[in-house]
């Protein structure tokens, strides 16, 4: 993890406090009671302040790590006909650079994206380990169950070519010896999220520590979410219903 100001400040404060505190102890041993006691107390105040600041910084760091998100894919939708859309999917590479778009035709009212996740235990998240994921598939989804049952399902593979998403997740969880030793893996499961389709809508599919969250990126997506009845009154609000998690 990067060293933040919330760790630098208490470290410097604690160092100053420790020097003053030890100086006070030394003066007390030399029977310089007045100056020794003042340094002793002043150093103690510095040390206490450093501890409080460190605890506050730890709370902020914990919150930031447990709520950390990163983009897994960006989806742009183009309406081709009634309940028929073309989805442009752009996925970042290992360095976070967005790649070339891939196109898929989706039928229905919403687009759904699935991924396989390896979820670490919270202490591992705080230590800097983010959930490992592999995009699995994308498909359309009808709001009405009757329409869903009457329409042949069409899903598209999003996993890297010639690689098994499930196998990758399993292997990655076994590569870190420390993680194996301390039983840091919380669960391995599949998670899917869906959001309403509309012409021109753009969604960022965000990978969190526990699953995928579609976030509307333009007015078309937000308007579709409001019409759909999802909670998206402001930019950046999540629009998702995540599938159940089946831990291995």
Say if residues 67 and 130 touch (Cβ distance below 8 Å): no
pLDDT tens digits for range 82-134: 999 999 999 988 777 888 999 999 999 999 999 988 887 877 766 677 778 88
Token readout for 68 is 């950390």
- What tokens does 135 get? 């995009």
Q: Which residues pair with 113 in a beta bridge?
A: 138, 193
Among 188, 179, 221, smallest CA distance to 204 is for 221
pLDDT of 163-179, one tens digit each? 444 445 556 555 656 56
pLDDT of residue 184: 77
Torsion of CA 155, 156, 160, 161, to 10 degrees: 110
- Round to whole Å and give the CA distance between 89 and 73: 7
- Nearest partner of 90 among 239, 202, 243, judged by Cα: 202
Please return the burial class of 173, using the count of CB atoms within 10 Å of its CB with bins 0-12, 13-18 and 19+.
middle
Give the per-residue pLDDT at 234.
46
- In 30-118, which residue ranges form alpha helices assigned H by DSSP? 33-66
pLDDT value of residue 36: 65
pLDDT of residue 63: 43
Token pair 């301390």 is at which residue?
182
Where exactly are the structural domains of the chain? 5-65, 69-228
Cβ–Cβ contacts within 10 Å for residue 159, how many? 17
**Do the Cβ atoms of 203 and 221 come closer than 8 Å?**
yes
Low-confidence spans in the chain with pLDDT less than 70: 1-19, 21, 23-37, 39-40, 42-43, 46-47, 49-67, 125-127, 160-181, 230-248
Phi, psi angles (nearest 5°) of residue 120: -80, 165
pTM of the full structure: 0.64
CB-facing half-sphere around the CA of 176: CA atoms within 13 A = 14
The per-residue pLDDT for 205 is: 93
Q: What are phi and psi of 96, to 5 degrees?
A: 85, 5
């Amino acid at each position: 993890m990067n060293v933040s100001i919330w760790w630098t400040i208490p470290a410097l404060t604690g160092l100053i406090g420790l020097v003053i505190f030890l100086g006070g102890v030394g003066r007390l041993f030399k029977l310089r009671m007045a100056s020794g006691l003042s340094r002793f107390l002043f150093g103690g105040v510095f040390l206490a302040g450093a501890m409080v600041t460190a605890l506050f910084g730890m709370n902020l760091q914990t919150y930031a790590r447990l709520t950390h998100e990163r983009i897994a894919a960006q989806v742009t939708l183009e309406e081709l006909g009634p309940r028929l859309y073309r989805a442009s999917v752009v996925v970042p590479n290992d360095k976070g650079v967005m790649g070339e778009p891939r196109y898929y035709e989706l039928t229905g009212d919403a687009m759904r994206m699935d991924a396989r996740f390896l979820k670490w235990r919270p202490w591992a998240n705080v230590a800097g380990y983010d959930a490992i994921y592999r995009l699995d598939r994308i498909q359309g989804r009808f709001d009405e169950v009757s329409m869903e049952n009457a329409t042949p399902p069409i899903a598209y593979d999003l996993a890297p070519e010639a690689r098994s998403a499930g196998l990758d997740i399993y292997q990655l969880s076994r590569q870190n010896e420390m993680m194996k030793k301390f039983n840091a893996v919380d669960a391995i499961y599949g998670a899917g999220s869906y959001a309403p389709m509309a012409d021109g809508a753009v969604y960022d599919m965000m990978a969190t520590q526990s699953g995928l969250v579609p976030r509307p990126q333009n007015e078309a997506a937000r308007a579709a979410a409001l019409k759909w009845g999802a909670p998206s009154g402001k930019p950046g609000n999540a629009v998702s219903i995540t599938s159940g998690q089946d831990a291995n």
